[in-house]
Amino acid sequence: MSKKKALFLIDGVHTPGNTVNSIKKLCRMHRVKVSALIWIGGTEKIESRESFSEVFRKEFSAEVLFPEDSGGRAVPEKGLRDFLSGKNCIDTVVQLSGAPQIFRSRTVELARISVSFGASYIAGGTVFSEYKSPVRHRKPSIGLYATNKRVGKTAFGSYIGGLICGINGIDTPFKPVIITHSRGGPPDPPLIEIHRKESEKKPEELTKKELLSSRFKPEYLARLLDFSLHGASDVFEDALIISTYLDSLEKEGKEVPYISLIGCRRAGAGYYNEFAVSNVDRGIKKANSSGANLIIHEGSGAEHPPAAVDGVIFFVPSDVDIDLLRDFPGLEKALLFILANCQRETSDPGKISKIKDVLKEKNPTAEVFLTRFEPEAVSSPADLKGKKALFLTTAPDYILEKLSAQLSEKYDLEITETLNNLDRDEEMKYSIDRAVKENSPDCLLVEIKARGVEGARYAENKYSLDYFYINNIPRLVNGDFSPAEKNNDMDRAILKCVSRAVKKFNTANKKSFPFM
């Protein structure tokens, strides 16, 4: 069995001979071999850098790197980040130092950087590592992850999925399958083939297999409940939204691109935010055997699947806690950052500047884009004109008035009331009862979140109210939060990231998957 490649963090406080002997012992203990060394501080046992380096060059045929700032102080965090972000396949980082060069906080920081790039980190008897599924992708993969829950990750996921497969009008070679991961996901991950034509059967006549093998419709969400499936699971929300755009292409006589979805279940999380329990193994196997040539993983909340991907796009809310952001794992490896909810109600340009500074410190090469969401009816928007509508959402109080105004203006309707308790079933039903009696709405506008599908069915069954599902569309904004004319710059950056991920997979696996 070949030994794993290790990078050792050493100091100038121990004598070189002591360090060499200790490294040899640690190599035997952990079954690793030395690939590189980084000096993390201390000079009292270093006569000269050249003589110091020569000792390790002679013993291990490896170089000692000396990352430092303009004042000559060691900056091992930068050195470690720069080394691991290159084409250096390091499996393990070993810390061979202690105070005063390294205290607990620095150990945690260096471990976080190492784990972000897929390496385990050993400090004495403590091992920092992230669990990864033994099931490997047989196709290029990319992760769409976030630093917080309620950042709009599902809206971004459906938007990016549509962009990648060509729905937005950009010709691409990609055939994506989106794997979602939600707390309410099915125990057996379904493959939903929305690129196929819709079934001609009525929803109540569809079998489960038929429902999952066709274009997805709003009325299917209620039918899911008959099969004990949670209609607001991310996979069905994505399926409904993307199916609507596929229908539009078909009506225009255009070719419908390949795109499918797989819905996984997850629970809990580890120290580095990987799911503690999930059925992602089964999801990856289905993706590997599907007709897709690209796998997209949507994260869940601030957590992500325990799967090694070829690239990551991170979503960060504009009101994120700066300390949380500094400590968040995985940002060093991101290809792109997209800031969500960049608007006066949630942030200000000064806060955005601080967020960008933290991201640049962690990842100097990744681009950062600012966005906000605009609500959009998923189907039959023309039927909304002149209606009185009750709007159900999960949005926070401070943005409700703005969302209601946008819907009213966009569809020429009257919002009688806006409720944001979709995540509390009994309270939601009570609020619907009260609002219907007080305002007599003609219909419901329902965000496909939390218990939105159950709320729509409740209002339909009890009050015979029509309902329309609402999606949130990312809109690129400028530094002063004014909307950009189009999303072109962000779209190009996303497609560039996907191509980088594909190239990385091809190089590592000697494959030839297409890229742009």
Partnered with residue 304 across adjacent β-strands are 274
**Residue 249 pLDDT:** 85
CATH number given to 141-374+478-509: 3.40.50.300
H-helix or E-strand spanning residue 36: strand 32-39
Q: Which CATH superfamily is domain 4-128 in?
A: HUPs (3.40.50.620)
**Burial (CB count <10 Å: 0-12, 13-18, 19+), residue 398:** exposed
* Cα end-to-end span (Å), the chain: 38
Single-letter residue type at 375: P
Instruction: State how far the Cα of 119 lies from the Cα of 4, in Å rounded to an integer.
Output: 10
Cβ neighbour number for residue 158 with a 10 Å cutoff = 29
| Angle separating helix axes 488-509 and 153-165, nearest 10 degrees | 70
Single-letter residue type at 174: F
Domain 4-128 shares a fold with domain 141-374+478-509: yes
**Residue 122 pLDDT:** 97
**Residue 424 pLDDT:** 86
Instruction: State how far the Cα of 503 lies from the Cα of 500, in Å rounded to an integer.
Output: 5
Query: Chain centroid to CA 304: how far?
Result: 7
Show me where the domains of the chain are located. Answer: 4-128, 141-374+478-509, 378-470
Q: Retrieve residue 478's tokens.
A: 């400028």
Residues in the chain, pLDDT under 70 = 1, 230-232, 450
Task: Please report how many Cα atoms fall inside a 13 Å half-sphere around the Cα of residue 327, on the Cβ side.
Answer: 12
Q: 378-470: which CATH architecture? A: 3-Layer(aba) Sandwich (3.40)
**Residue 223 pLDDT:** 83
**Residue 234 pLDDT:** 84
Q: What is the 3-state secondary structure (H, E, C) of 5-59?
A: EEEEEECCCCCHHHHHHHHHHHHHHHCEEEEEEEECCCCCCCCCHHHHHHHHHHH
**Residue 314 pLDDT:** 97
